[in-house]
Each structure stands twice: as C-alpha cells, then as structure tokens.
A and B are shown apart, each in its own frame.
Chain A
Amino acid sequence: MGMTMIENLLARKAGVRKVSPGDTVTVDVDMCVMIDLQFATMWLPPSRINDPGKVAVVMDHAVPAPTLKDAAGGPRARKFVADFGIERFFDVGRHGICHQVIAENGLARPGEVLACTDSHTCAGGAYNTAARGLGPAEVYSILCTGSTWFQVAPTVRYELDGVLPEGISGKDVFLYIADAYGDATNLNLEFGGPGLGSIRLNDRRTIATQAAEISADFATFGVDDLLREFLTERGVEDYQPADADPDADYLAVRHLDLSTLEPYVARPGTVSRNGVPVSRIEPRKIDQAFIGSCANGQLEDLRIAARILRGKTVAAGVRLLVTPASQQVYRDAMRLGYLQDIADAGGVITNSTCGACFGYHMGVVGPGEVCLTSSTRNFTGRMGSTEAEIYMASPATVAASAVAGVITDPRGVTA
C-alpha cells in the first residue's frame, strides 16, 4: 500500500522510504515559531540555538500587555531576537495572531515542517505543511536543536465532492464534520477531492485550524491552483509539495458533498457531536457576539461581517466584538471600509490579539452570559466565567445574530 499525504511528507523529511502508523520518526523542523507567552513564563536565555534563519517570534496572545507578567515578557523577547540576530520578529505594531502572521509571511511552505507554541498551529496544514502545536518546552528544544520526533498516526481522508454554496463558510464545513464524526484523537486528517477548488484559502485555514478542537494531530490539504496562486503572491517558491499515493492506506475515507451543507452552530462545551444546523436551533438570546481569532479573524471574515452589518444596528443588550487576526488584516479592513461599517453598526473593534478567544483579555464573558463566537473553542470557561455559555458559528451567523439579538440563520439576513 502507498502512503497518505502526511506520511509522504514525514517520510521524506525523515529520510526514509516508507513510514506507517505507529512508526516514530525524527525530523528537522524548517520553521520554529515562538509566541509572547513563552517569554512571560519560564524563560531562560539559551546558550546557543540551531539556526536564527529558521526562527520567528510573534507577539500575539497578550498584547498590548494586560498584566505585569506579560509586560515583563516583552523585553525578554526583544533581547532574545537582538542577541541571536533573529530577523523575523513581529513585535507590537507589526504583530498578529501567529497563524495569520505565518500565512501572510509565507512561513508555512508545502512539504515542510513547522512547529509553534500554540495548539492551533495545525492551521498551516492548509498550505500543505506538516504543522502542529507543541508545548513551550518542546518548541524551546526545537529552537536549540532544530529537530523533533513524531509518532505517525493513522489518516482519515475527507474526499470533498460538489461545490460549497455561496454564504456557507469553512466554519460551517468544520462544525458539520465535528458534529457528524466527533473526535479524531490521535488521527491525521487529509482533505482533497474534486470539491476542494470551491473552498477558498481562508476557509481551508479555518478548517485546518480547528482540527485541534477534535483532537487531531496533523490536518493537511493538497496543493492546487488556488494554493499555488496564494503562495506566489507571498513570494513562496521552490517548494516540494507532499501528495497522497493513489493507493494510500487510510483508516477511513469519508465522502462529503459540499453542496448539501448549511450554516451550523455548536452548542456550549464542545464541538464534537454537539452541533445543529442554525435553521433548527431555538432563538437563543445572546449577550456577546465575537468575530476573531486565528480561525476567523481573517480579512474575508471581516468582509462578510461588514456586508451583513452595513446600515444595520447591533441589537440592544448585545456586545459585538471584532478582532482582526493581524495588524495587516486590521489595516486592510480599515482601508476597504469594513471597520467603518462594523463600527457604524455598533461593533467594537479591538487590536489584533488572541485575547477574547482564550478568555484572557479584551472581552471576557461573565456569569450567566451567553456568547456566540466565531473563534476556536467553546469549552466551559474558555472565554471567562465557567457559568457562561459559549455557542460557536461562522462570522456570517455571528454578525446576523448580533443584529437580531438571538442566534439567527444569516441566509435570511443577507438574502
């Protein structure tokens, strides 16, 4: 039997002809991305590092610093990049959520390995990269030694058929998959098939990002014309894509007819087997609506939100918070008028940060409140109080619901 996409990638990087589920491989890491939290907690300056050209430092989770602890991390990060001559430093002002910064700057390259101190690093799988989140100690080790190990997991392939309808986003695709198939613990996910071309790059990244929520290892998309164009625009060239063999050995192949999908919402607690089409959910009143995060603070997400909000008003009693995924997204959305439309409707636009998504700053929810979020996690307590309820849906659904004041099918609003 042949190898799956991620197996081909890992085998090549490990310098072996074949890998199979259960094998442990050691690979060189092509890009090691460190985040601000790493410098605020347990930071020790290393004696030496592997290669400053393979390191990026991104200030994202706690910027501008909401605590003294975080404020103390900033100078350590700045000293570290200066001491070791690290040029890829995304300090406050040219910062963004690391997975957005990785995408904008072409740091995730097809066929390569990327490590980063954030669990949503699987986002890079949208670009055919073996990317996954690792803990701060392991990323520190990769910084020093340049390599790490992976145990190869079995792969599930999603074979995409049909065309994704207008108004249905990558978030809806993901929430459907999570509801229909549940957790993918210790499994790799692979996405391909004739329907792939109808899923835009931003939507692919939403899907790859959220593979973390169903506990998957790697989530990898193939290279097609859309991705090649995206990479060319960002100066990424001379890459070697990883593809699946025609006779690849999958744990399962699941066919997904994109044309049948509709907007989805996940109920509080988990996305796994906990979703429902928005058209079938009760009209749940919301207190906070959030559009942002590595999954859904992209320029296209803000465009969709602005289009729905233009000329409308956020319902009384609802807070709409919008966090662009990077300073670049913020600037583009401002130039294109999206931020004006959102603010005119009564939305609050924050600086780019992971803030509200992980309940750290910039929009923590209180006891008894209901939040509808387009971010990454709906765990109990994730965005603040453990007595708050977090529903999850697409930016379109969140924007439409902010106007209605209750969880609402965006198709009725945009039609």
Chain B
Amino acid sequence: MKGKSMPFELTKEQRDIQKAAREFAEGELLPEVALEHDLAQKFPRDIWKKACQLGFIGIHFPEEFGGQGCGVLENILVTEQFCRKDSGLGIALSFSDFASEIVLRFGDENQKNRFLPPIPKAKALSAGALTEPEHGCDPESISTTAKREGSRYVLDGEKSFVINGPTADWLVVLCQTDSKAKPRSGGQSLFVVERGAEGLKVVPSGEKMGMHMTGMGDITFSKTRVPLESRIGSEGSGFDRTKRFLEENRMEVAAQAVGIAGGALEKAIAYAKKRYTFGRPIIEHQGLQWMLAEMATQVEAARSFLYDVGSRFDRGEGKIGPQTAMVKMFASDVAMRVSTDAVQVFGGLGYMEDLPLERTMRDSKATQIYLETNQIEKMVIGDYLKR
C-alpha cells in the first residue's frame, strides 16, 4: 500500500487505460474531422458513439450503471488523452456526461437507474444548469425558484451559458426552494429535468470564441412542473452538493487543460525540430529552446499536480476542495500560456485555420472561464487560506 507521502505512480491498469485512450484518440480524433465539426459547430456524435462503445465515457460510473467502475483519476487520464489529440473534440467528449456526477454521487437508486445508464451507452447527453444570467457563480443570489405544489414542484427562472444546454437529454438544475432560508444557500435544492418538460425553453447562448463542438445554451423555466421524485437529495441540500460536484468537475476541466497544453507542446516541439531558419532547425536557437523548456516545465507541473489531486480524491481523502480549485486554475492558466506560445512557435502558420493550433488557443481560454472562472477559484482558495 502506498502511503500519502509516496511518490505518485500510475498502476499498470491505469497505464493501460491511458494507452487505450491515446490509441483511440490517434485513430479517431482526426484533424480534418475536428475542423469540419468546429466550422459547422456540431457535436461529434459519431466519435462520441464510438468512445461510448469502448467504455471511455462514464468510465467512472459503477458497472451497474454502464460504467467501468473506475475512479476520477481514470476519467482524468481519458480526458487528457482526448484533449491532447484535439482540444475541441476532447472538450465535447469530456463534457458529454457533464453534471451526471450529481446524479451519480447524490441521486437515489431510481434516479441513478433511470438517468445514468443511457449516458455511457451514447443514448443521452447530460447538462447542469447552475449559472444564472445576472448572478454568475454567486450562489447567494440565484433567482430560479422551485415551489412545491402538492405532488409537484413548479420551476421558474433563467439559467445562462449552460454547457450542453441545446443538446442535453436531461439536466440538473439548482433552484431556490426556500426563499426565506438564511443563508439563502441553505434553501437551495437540485432537480433533474428532462428535455421536453413543459415550459422549458433552450436557446443557444450565441457565438463563442472557441469550443465550437460543445453547445452552450440559455435556459428558461416557465411554470415547469416536475414530479417530487426529480428532486435530488433532501430540500436544502442543493448548494452543498453543487459545491461537491464542482470539486469533482474542476479536476475534469484541469484534465482537459493538461491534455490541451501537452498536445500543443508536443506539436510545438515537433515543428521546432523540422522548421529551419537561418540554416538550422529553430529548436537549435537557444531563445526558442528556452521558451519550449518553460512550456514543458509548466505542463509537467500541472500534470503531476492533477494526478496527485485526482488520486487523493479516489482514496477518499476529504477536504481537498481548495486543491481542486488550485489545480483547475493552475492547469487552465498553463493551457492558455502554452497554447499561446505554441502558436508563437509556429509563427504565421500557427495563426491559420489549416492547423489546429489557433483553435487550441481559442479553446484553452474557455478552460479558464467555464465551470467557474479562475477568479472564483482564487476566492475558494483564499477562503481556505483564511481559515
């Protein structure tokens, strides 16, 4: 058994998963397919189906719900390999089960049996409607309400920038069930709502800088009636559970970021070896070599940090919330810097759509923003430091 202080090492099984994910990505996440989907702003359904068939999606679900019974770290390894090969396809695949972990970790048996199995089978996409147009990540002031009326809840309100909003078959929604609760976060509850529910309207959030293969929607609930059974956990538990979901999902975003940065770095190194200026490969120019050295160091540091936090989560170590915030912020900042520098190494060529570098840079920016902005991560870390 490894103690906490032992150096981190992947098991043979984890390395096999990593290798399988890499092979799948190399074979399926092809640049021309990516470019086509990116320009058409289309979710990659065919690749998603294949990834599901091979067990990559929902790998962290127990086998009874169609998963592989793996931990968060295995999910991290898969996500990293997908994003390493292609940022846009990787993000879309990684988020295909977005917020399903809320049902997985906190749902009852009926909810799990009903909502989880379609996810790894490529029968459903999930979403989480947690952000609101006027309140962003501020949980104290959400205005979407769920009022109990007999055997139902009636949902009213708006959520914005919902990942998978336009494509999801079901989504988890954070609502205020008790408007008098103090703090307000103690009066919030989670519900799972299916596509087609009455009064549920989704419109795309608009044109984005990147992550074009992942839909984003603004959602309106207008007298949306849902049965009591759609409430996840007890009334008033929504905020706490959302927080715990965010902790888990920050690692997934960090995995996307590490993959994106690692992929951009590899492409930059390969190009630096074959591109000549002033009679020699550009990697022979020391200034460029040092730039690559800094990029590589950042990627290594982010990856080690992520694997460490992921394995601590899987070992059931509690209270790693601040570390998840740190790794999300750090890895996404690394992805932004490294992908920006990778474009720089490629020069004019890097700026063109012919190569995935410029898209990768645009996709990287999203990892610093979505789920929660890195400013919010700093607040989470700051609160922890104060304690």
Do they bind each other?
no
Contacts from B to A (Cβ < 8 Å): none
Contacts from A to B (Cβ < 8 Å): none
